[in-house]
Amino acid sequence: MTTQLSPERLAVPPPSMLHLNDADRTVGWINGDRVGFRGFATDEEAAHAAWVAHRTLTRRLARSHNLRPVPIGSEPLALRREGDAEFIVASSGPIATLVRPEYDSVGESDSHGFEISIPQPADEVLVRAMAHLIYRTIRKSGLRWGSNRARINT
């Protein structure tokens, strides 16, 4: 007996990289299960924004899966280099990857940023929803962010 794939069951290619725009400026991106934002003046501002993103993501996923919310207070943050990557680290471990201006693949090469991974299983809808939630939370947090203007468009 041989198995054949029907045309409607063929694998779907991964989505291409999406740019997140705020008015006329690209402020972030979605690449597979990773969400990134830039527009921060220093690596310290990017690290604090990554902490807000991590806290938002953890709380939302706990609520979505009917888990007890993990208490998340403030933690000291640090940067740790491993090979070519530079991670933003809290006491619980790496929370995001720091994006320096010279490694920009999105535009605006004069600003710092971060990229955070959405835990699996994460489909495209969940990743987009988390990107919007993180964006809104960073905007409302009071953190200094050079792109606090209009709403996000994808």
pTM above 0.85, yes or no: no
Establish if 12 belongs to a structural domain. Answer: no
Establish if 7 belongs to a structural domain. Answer: no
**Cβ 116 vs Cβ 50: under 8 Å:** yes
Establish if 11 belongs to a structural domain. Answer: no
With CA atoms as reference, report the closest residue to 56 among 109, 149, 2, 132: 132
End-to-end Cα separation, the chain, in angstroms: 46
With CA atoms as reference, report the closest residue to 55 among 38, 75, 37: 75
**Cβ 33 vs Cβ 127: under 8 Å:** yes
CA distance 42 to 46: 6
Residue carrying structure tokens 């939630």: 133
Q: How many domains does the chain have?
A: 1
Establish if 70 belongs to a structural domain. Answer: no
Residue 47 lies in domain = 18-64+75-149
Establish if 9 belongs to a structural domain. Answer: no
Between 120 and 86, the higher pLDDT residue = 86
Tens of pLDDT, residue by residue over 28-78, are 899 888 999 988 888 899 999 999 999 888 888 887 766 766 666 667 888
Per-residue pLDDT for 147 more than 90? no
**Cβ 38 vs Cβ 20: under 8 Å:** no
Establish if 3 belongs to a structural domain. Answer: no
Sign of CA dihedral 68, 90, 128, 131: positive
- DSSP three-state, residue 10: coil
Instruction: Identify the pLDDT of residue 114.
Output: 94
